[in-house]
Amino acid sequence: MSLPRSAARGPVHFLMFYIRRRWRSHLVVLLAVLAAVGCSIGAQYGVKNLVDVLASRKPTDVQLWSAVALLLALVAGDNLLWRLAGWVSTYAFVAVGGDIRIDLFHHLSGHGTRYFSDRFPGALAGRITTAATAAWTIQSSLTWTTIPPAAACIAAVIVLGTIDWQMTLVLVAIVSILAGIIARLAAGGHHLHARFAGRAAAVTGDLTDVVSNIGLVRAFGATLRERERLSAKIRHEMTAQRRSLRSLERVRLFHAVSVFVVTAGVLVWAVTLWRAGRISTGDVVLTTTLGFTVLHASRDLAMALVDLLQHFAKLGEAVRVLGLPHEMIDASDAKPLINLGGSVTFERVSFAYPDGQVVLQDFELHIPAGQKVGLVGKSGAGKSTILALLQRLYDPTAGRVMLDEQDIARVTQDSLRRAIAVVAQDISLFHRSVLENLRYGKPDATDEEIYQATEAAHCTEFINRLPQGFNTIVGERGVKLSGGQRQRLAIARAFLRDAPVVLLDEATSSLDTESEQSIQEALMRLVKGRTVIAIAHRLSTLDSFDRIIVLDRGHIVEDGSSAELLERKGIYSRMYLRQLAAASLS
């Protein structure tokens, strides 16, 4: 799923897209706020009206109590309309934040492997929260601290026009000039706000990275080193924040001085008009109160506007990073993959990583459905790249990768992933229960299917020994389980996946002999009747495989069964005998 096109046009258009989704509730909030401001300014006129009635020599009861009723009605309307706006905003503003988080996550999950390899996962997750929080803050600021003072200033100037139109014209001219100057000063600090938002996100990513690897930090005695490194980054962030805040304070200082001068001028002008007999005592009172309204409202408006700049900068930075176009998307005519058994074909495939390192060049390989193939070779020979290309974690720079005679670039990525089960060396588990991690392979799996999968993967015994059995929380990345237990859970999850193609990426290389034997038995059950491509550290684990592909610098240098390759006494034979000798010495 992609973000709305407005995301590329800046944070204002991005936010407006989500506000328009719920325009009715936002319109109710806006109208209620404007009406409340009107009542607030009207109440000041009501005070002026009451003062004039009281100042008259003999007001009638109707005149007196009508003035009182008008003032009370305006005060009541002011309070009740604010509460209406607040009640409706609890739905509208929260909904916008939820929509933004959902859409940003959907878009983020569609990015390719290269995108995630270049960025901190913690910082990316933090940006989703930052964007939603900034959107909520912007809506709240506009509703409670930006639109009300702006409307109050306009209404106050209009009401002042009923006292003296010349005063109104002068005020409009002065306010317009001041608004232009303030806007120019505020815009001049935009780059400072953006720099602060970027550095804050970077610090969040660094903190997440260190905390998630705290065991490694302690193992190498690097706590002090990491503290110093993070302190330096936080100092840079603090410097950026200070510069951002100081730019805001300069705007606020200019505004405070200019508004005081304008308010003083209006008050002196009103008193002068009263002395000349051109306005009443109530008019002077109204002019004074409206002058203070303009003073406080414009001050609040200036503070709200400069704060909004910071929040828009945070929203813009988050959307700019998260909203980058996807590298790999489904073709416009992509269709679901049709399962025909799981044959795999690489047709003249070439691939190079972003740094220019060429891994495969005109690579050719065909694996019939149901065949079990082992990939061996030195580090960097292209083994992991082959698995990554088959999963379409990357697209080849040339050639085609076929699954069941279908170009995987022309089928939907979801259907491709459903056709492949992966058991890797580094097992990924969520900080959830054992049962939830198992069901990740098949969300609608029945209890009976889960039990059969755990039995086949030799998991049932150790799961039953856990404190809450299947409901035991495994910890972040399965930290509460041993390596062998995590591997067996991954195999059980692959059983539930029931995919025609199984990829084994050094699934037993880090285990002790006893655990490896148990897991090898589970793997043999898993791969039965399926197409298997395995990368194995211990070559003896591939003895039962149909084929061994020996790779060297992205090229196939040997191809055959384990027995055939041992007879040839080539690269595979030397690697195999070297491992046997090392095992006998240990």
DSSP 351-374: EE-TTS-EEEEEEEEEE-TT-EEE
Do 377 and 550 touch, CB atoms closer than 8 A? yes
Number of domains present in the structure of the chain: 1
On whether residue 564 sits in a domain, the answer given is no
- pLDDT tens-digit series, residues 168-200: 677 777 777 776 776 677 667 767 777 777 787
Q: In what order do the strands lie in the sheet with 420-424?
A: 420-424, 501-505, 531-535, 372-377, 547-552, 555-560
- pLDDT tens-digit series, residues 422-476: 887 777 778 888 888 888 878 888 888 888 888 887 888 888 888 888 888 887 7
On whether residue 369 sits in a domain, the answer given is no
On whether residue 412 sits in a domain, the answer given is no
Six-digit token pair at 529? Answer: 């009747």
Three-class SS state of 301? helix
- Burial grade of 387 (CB within 10 A; 0-12, 13-18, 19 or more): buried
Residue 350 is given by DSSP the state: E
Distance (Å, whole) CA 304 – CA 28:
22
Least confident of 28-32, 212-216, 282-286, 433-437: 212-216
Least confident of 137-151, 267-281, 310-324, 434-448: 267-281
Do 390 and 420 touch, CB atoms closer than 8 A? yes
Closest CA relative to residue 156, chosen from 300, 278, 276: 300
Q: How many CB atoms lie within 10 A of CB 86?
A: 14
Q: Considering the chain, what percentage of its residues have pLDDT values greater than 70?
A: 87
Residue 401 is given by DSSP the state: E
Do 50 and 42 touch, CB atoms closer than 8 A? no
CATH number at residue 146: 1.20.1560.10
Q: Which residue has the higher pLDDT, 506 or 501?
A: 501
Pairing of the two strands 420-424 and 501-505: parallel
Maximum average pLDDT range among 302-306, 514-518, 550-554: 550-554
- pLDDT tens-digit series, residues 214-255: 766 776 677 787 888 888 888 888 888 888 778 777 777 777
Helix, strand, coil content of the chain in percent (nearest 5): 65, 10, 20
What pLDDT, on a 0 to 100 scale, did the predictor assign at position 1?
47
Distance (Å, whole) CA 549 – CA 188:
62
Instruction: Look up the domain containing 285 and give its range.
Output: 5-322
Distance (Å, whole) CA 41 – CA 251:
26
Closest CA relative to residue 38, chosen from 154, 181, 116: 154
Whether the predicted pLDDT of 586 surpasses 60: no
Three-class SS state of 473? strand
Q: How many CB atoms lie within 10 A of CB 444?
A: 7
Pairing of the two strands 358-367 and 372-377: unpaired
Three-class SS state of 264? helix
CA 29 to chain CA centroid, Å, is 28
On whether residue 87 sits in a domain, the answer given is yes
Distance (Å, whole) CA 113 – CA 410:
19
Distance (Å, whole) CA 475 – CA 486:
11
Whether the predicted pLDDT of 546 surpasses 70: yes
**Given the structure tokens 């080849």, which residue do they identify?**
396
Maximum average pLDDT range among 144-148, 274-278, 290-294: 144-148
What pLDDT, on a 0 to 100 scale, did the predictor assign at position 367?
92
What band does 25 get if pLDDT is binned at 50, 70 and 90? Answer: very high
On whether residue 552 sits in a domain, the answer given is no
What pLDDT, on a 0 to 100 scale, did the predictor assign at position 87?
92
What pLDDT, on a 0 to 100 scale, did the predictor assign at position 120?
64
**Given the structure tokens 């009723």, which residue do they identify?**
69
**What number is the average pLDDT over the span 9-24?**
86
Do 438 and 492 touch, CB atoms closer than 8 A? yes
On whether residue 126 sits in a domain, the answer given is yes
Q: How far apart are the first and last CA of the chain?
A: 53
Distance (Å, whole) CA 230 – CA 228:
6
Q: Number of helices (H) and strands (E) in the chain: give both, helices first.
A: 20, 10
- pLDDT tens-digit series, residues 348-395: 999 987 767 788 889 999 999 989 999 998 888 888 889 888 988 888
Distance (Å, whole) CA 325 – CA 443:
30
Backbone φ and ψ of 398, nearest 5°: -155, 155
Distance (Å, whole) CA 497 – CA 434:
16
Do 390 and 535 touch, CB atoms closer than 8 A? no
Distance (Å, whole) CA 78 – CA 117:
54
Maximum average pLDDT range among 208-217, 280-289, 560-569: 560-569
What pLDDT, on a 0 to 100 scale, did the predictor assign at position 508?
63
Pairing of the two strands 344-352 and 398-403: antiparallel
Whether the predicted pLDDT of 509 surpasses 60: no
Report the mean per-residue pLDDT for the chain: 80
Three-class SS state of 381? coil
Q: Is the torsion defined by CA of 512, 515, 521, 525 positive or negative?
A: negative
On whether residue 438 sits in a domain, the answer given is no
Do 459 and 427 touch, CB atoms closer than 8 A? no
On whether residue 78 sits in a domain, the answer given is yes
What band does 304 get if pLDDT is binned at 50, 70 and 90? Answer: confident
Residue 304 is given by DSSP the state: H
pTM, entire model: 0.66
Do 44 and 159 touch, CB atoms closer than 8 A? yes
Pairing of the two strands 372-377 and 531-535: parallel
Closest CA relative to residue 29, chosen from 83, 81, 79, 85: 85
Distance (Å, whole) CA 535 – CA 346:
17
Whether the predicted pLDDT of 320 surpasses 50: yes
